[in-house]
Amino acid sequence: MAVAQIEFSKELQSFVEEWKDKPGNLIMILHRVQQEFSYIPREAAERLSRDLSMPLAKIYGVITFYHYFKTTKPGKYRMSVCLGTACYLKGGQGLIDEAESILGIKGHEVTDDGLFSIDAVRCVGCCGLAPVLMVGDEVYGKLTKDQVPEIIAKYKSLG
């Protein structure tokens, strides 16, 4: 059975080579892989297993332990809704429920057009703006669920 191949950029290849023998290398390398692909494709994990001489099970053990790492490709516009204490108490779950209702997706699903995915995250460090929703690096704070349709419409119009 042929092993699926995946292309790593020269920068990612250099990063893997640089970190290959350092303590704590796996988490740093996985962060860099996710930065490149927006998630960690199985083929990338398999390649790391070969390149680092590390069992695939160990790599997946780390990927699945940390909620930050994703094994499925997110939408073009990844919506992150904070469910840290302040955001949760001020309506964070309502923001998720509203976005899921509008987009017709649940959990880690992606809209059929590939534009949106929704992630519940723990504390984004903007507690004074609770509840917070982020789309990419853009922060929307002190939201009500009535504002969610307008935010989604903005990104839908960008395509």
- pLDDT, tens digit, for every residue of 15-41? 999 999 998 899 999 999 999 999 999
At 50, phi and psi to the nearest 5? Answer: -70, -50
* pTM (two decimals): 0.76
Which H/E stretch holds residue 116?
Answer: strand 116-121
pLDDT digits (tens, 9 = 90+) for 93-152: 999 999 999 999 998 899 999 999 999 998 889 999 999 999 988 999 999 999 999 999
pLDDT at 66: 87
Tell me the two tokens of residue 90: 């001020």
Give the separation between CA 18 and CA 50, rounded to whole angstroms. Answer: 16
d(CA 8, CA 14): 10
Phi and psi based region of residue 125 (left: phi greater than 0; alpha: psi -120 to 50; beta: remaining): left
The predicted structure's pLDDT at residue 17:
96
Q: What letter represents residue 55's amino acid?
A: P
Whether residue 30 contacts residue 65, with contact meaning beta carbons closer than 8 Å, is answered with: no
Q: Is 132 helix (H, G, I), strand (E, B) or coil?
A: coil
79 to 33, 58, 74: CA distances (angstroms): 20, 29, 9
Options 3.40.1410.10, 3.40.30.10, 3.30.750.24, 3.40.50.720; CATH of 77-158: 3.40.30.10
Q: Could you state, in order of their start, the residue ranges of all structural domains in the chain?
A: 10-65, 77-158
Q: How far apart are CA 81 and CA 69, in angstroms?
A: 16
